[in-house]
Amino acid sequence: MILAGLDVGSHRVSVAAGRVNGGGGLEILGLGSAPSRGVRGGAIVHLDAAAESIEAALHEAETSCGFPLERIAVGIGDDTVRSFNGRGVVPVMGKEQEVTSTDRRRALQAAQALGIPSDREIIHMIPLEFVLDGQPGIQEPEGMWGVQLEAEVHIVSGLRSVVRNLQKALDRVNARADRFIFTPLAAARAVLHPDEERWGVAVVDLGAQTTGIAVVQDNILRDTAILGVGSEQVTHDLAIGLRTPLVEAEEMKRRIGLSGDNGHRSESLEVTGVGEEARRSVAPSLLTSIIGPRIEEILGLVVRQIQRSAAMPRLQGGIVLTGGGAELAGLCRHAQRILQSPVRIGRPSGFSVPAGAGLDASWSCAVGLLQELASEREDDAGRRKPPLLLRVARPLKDFVKARLAL
């Protein structure tokens, strides 16, 4: 079965297609991408334009792998997504006070009965932990003896209109979303090491117009968020500051960025002015003076968001930066200085990929979406899945069934 992860970003639509081989490993058979049109802040703003971009990326992925795409997981990560923790308490009704799957389900339902506004729907309802008669930290309560069962869950909700319009864009190209997955979770899936999940780590997915955050500690998802800022603002700052076209500003941002090194012995850069034919020289340090303040602003917002979950001092695994914005030259060193924490760039790795293809940080979400579909098949086959996504899969399946029944 050919599976695919579809990341509908504001800058680019990306598709990673693959399958689970006989040994249980994931093979990436094809990649597809197209410039994103009709998408703003991660949400559809023009159906026809967005559908064309999605169709182009899907077609390229299918052509690349040579097979039709049978199941698709779609990322959702616009800046209207909201997340919060809920807690539900129920009496244990099992025979001889033994916790059953029904008790577990009732506790989870009670935890999400906080009232979701009618214009929103649940994307994920992720169990964090169970408390049995005051004993916390229980992950699987079924079969245990107790009187009162509490469930703490992390709920991610999105605007109903955003979810439906994304599906309508897919309908226009005869595609269907088998799963909707919150993009920071997909990115975390692709780039995290199991030790980082245990130590405590924040995955920061730097997109063009949004920045996603997922905080994981002790193999438990602690917090998620979407900020309405992204690396595109850096490109705009450069274009205005250097008075150069956006395309050239984007190229310089990725190639030189905060490194202050143009890769040549020359101490100056040649740039084209808007509406000018002649090129002019600017110092590489000028790029740093323009980019630096904007990056500090974005990272400052990220830190404040993480501190709200009281996790920042305990993140021994540090920060993992991923997404297209993470490919900014010199970002890692600059971020370490600002955050005073270990920082690395997270890129998907360890996969068989088509000849000549490479996976930089901009592919993290698409690959993570593909991995989640693949791991669902592994779960069905009885193989164990990594802790973080194991907590997502079962509630999300129920959500998709309910959504398709509408």
* Percent of all residues in the chain with a pLDDT value above 90, rounded to a whole number: 60
On whether residue 213 sits in a domain, the answer given is no
Q: Is residue 238 part of a domain?
A: no
**pLDDT of 362 strictly over 60:** yes
| The pLDDT of residue 404 is above 60 | no
Please name the residue that has the structure tokens 């500051």.
241
What is the DSSP secondary-structure string of 277-329?
Answer: SSEEEE-HHHHHHHHHHHHHHHHHHHHHHHHHTT-GGG-TT-EEEESGGGGST
Residue 86 belongs to domain spanning: 82-158
Any domain includes 130: yes
User: Over the range 259-277, which residues count as b (16 or more CB within 10 Å of their CB) and which as e?
Assistant: bbebeeeeeebebbeeeee
Tens digit of each residue's pLDDT (9 = 90 or more) over 146-181: 999 999 999 999 999 999 999 999 999 999 999 999
Q: Is residue 339 part of a domain?
A: no
Q: Output the six-digit token pair for 206.
A: 């730097």
Count structural domains, the chain. Answer: 1
Average pLDDT over residues 34-60: 96
Asked whether residue 12 is domain-assigned, the answer is no
Answer yes or no: is 132 within a domain: yes
* Confidence (pLDDT) at 260: 65
Name the more confident of 312 and 287. 287
CATH number at residue 116: 3.30.1490.110
Any domain includes 112: yes
Q: Indicate whether 95 belongs to any domain.
A: yes
pLDDT band at 259 (very low <50, low <70, confident <90, very high): confident
Mean pLDDT over residues 86-101, rounded? 92
The answer on pLDDT for 114 being more than 80 is: no
Can you tell me the mean pLDDT for 295-301?
Answer: 94
Q: What is the mean pLDDT of the chain?
A: 87
